[in-house]
Amino acid sequence: MIAVDGGHPLSGSIEASGAKNAALPAVVATLLTDHPVDIGGIPELSDLETAIALVRSLGKHATLSGTVLTVTEGPKLEPVAPREIVRRMRASFLVLGPLVARLGQAQVPLPGGCSIGARPVDLHLKGLAALGAEVDIRDGVVFARAQRLRGATVQLDFPSVGATEQLLLAGALADGETVIVNPAREPEVQDLGRLLTTMGAPVSWDADSVQVQGRSELSGGSHRVIADRIETGTYLLAGAITRGKVRVTQTDPRLQSALLSALRKAGAHVDEGDNWLEVSAPHKLRAVDIETGPYPGFPTDLQPPWVSLMTTADGRSSTTETVFESRFHHVPELERMGARIRMEGRDIIAEGPVCLRGAPVAATDIRAGAALLTAALAAEGRTELTGEELLRRGYDKYVNKLQGLGAHIWESKARAAD
């Protein structure tokens, strides 16, 4: 359990960690080669521990020294991914393409992860089939076979991050060029493209597609993942909701345009430099309507903490979730904290401002946990947050970072008495 005594404006500076959503596919990419791969900027997250355990279970040697992961050849690469590891995290499913590309076969259980709605893998499977793989699902396991993957043009019905990454990984060892039309353009996907280019499979982007030039063999190399824009945005929102002043360094302001625009419309003051962002907020903020969408739209992963901020803003705000149909588990928990908030289809309507109150609340997914933690920092009194293990999946050393900004937050083994 995490306990927070709220109502204290955050102030100070913290450094952004490496991006979880860039590090995960980077770890999987090490399956594409027997040569050593060094990945810098690895954040201290349980999801990264899962990813490292997964590549080890498939036969690689992996050593983590500080924030640098070195992956080298093991005794034998295995085609079967363990169910007990894959079920922990959806990104584990990305091993399917690299395994079938290298070994000609793969068995990967259907993935687990956060409960934020149906996230089918049909785009992954259709794409791999277009590259020549025979794909079948039996007893919750995906079986894929291919004597040799062939480059092809794949049209995605939706710019899916996971499907785009899956096809880039598989296409890197396919025969010829793979073209993905309507790809996801999230910075983390582009970061994977830079790693594959370093490993010898050039990736290039144009107006409506991304291309990867397949190779029969890839080299190793060194790569540092980009800063975590979701972590950065969450701390900026925490500064705003507490009406404080928070600076995040070692981050890329160019990746935050949608959030920064919304914060400025709400009346927050935002400063930025080459590699830092700072937000300060007056006592009174204005309600702002936003809609989530694929990059460069407003990130769905920042929707929950944005909603927390809007409960304290003056007026009626509408937050429309277009990416995940069930990313709303934070709404009833915010109601427990005194928020005037309701659902209308895929719109979250908040009427503010309210003075949030501390309460016992529970996180059901990573970003819902961020919303409740953000709200707790601003709330009067004590908030006791369970499900904190979900926060450890997505936020590197978040208790220490928040304490460094002046938050009254600590980990507790049991609930305080009522």
Q: Side-chain half-sphere of 396: how many Cα atoms within 13 Å?
A: 23
d(CA 210, CA 341): 40
- DSSP class per residue in 235-261: HHHHHHHTT-EEEEES--GGGGHHHHH
Local structure of 320: helix, strand or coil: strand
Catalytic status, residue 355? no
* Mean pLDDT, rounded, for 46-51: 96
pLDDT over 60 at 119, yes or no: no
pLDDT value at residue 326: 80
pLDDT over 80 at 118, yes or no: no
More confident residue, 416 or 77: 77
More confident residue, 117 or 399: 399
Which residue type, as a one-letter code, is found at position 150?
R
pTM exceeds cut of 0.75: yes
* Mean pLDDT, rounded, for 389-401: 96
Confidence band, pLDDT 50/70/90 cuts, at residue 412: confident
pLDDT over 90 at 111, yes or no: no
pLDDT value at residue 112: 62
pLDDT value at residue 327: 87
Of 91, 100, 114, 309, which one is the catalytic site residue? 114
* Mean pLDDT, rounded, for 90-118: 84
pLDDT value at residue 414: 56
Q: Please, what is the average pLDDT of the chain?
A: 95
Convert the pLDDT of each residue in 221-241 to its tens digit: 999 999 999 999 999 999 999
DSSP state of 127: H
Convert the pLDDT of each residue in 331-346 to its tens digit: 999 999 999 999 999 9
In order of their start, the domains of the chain are: 2-17+227-411 (3.65.10.10), 20-224 (3.65.10.10)
pLDDT over 70 at 415, yes or no: no
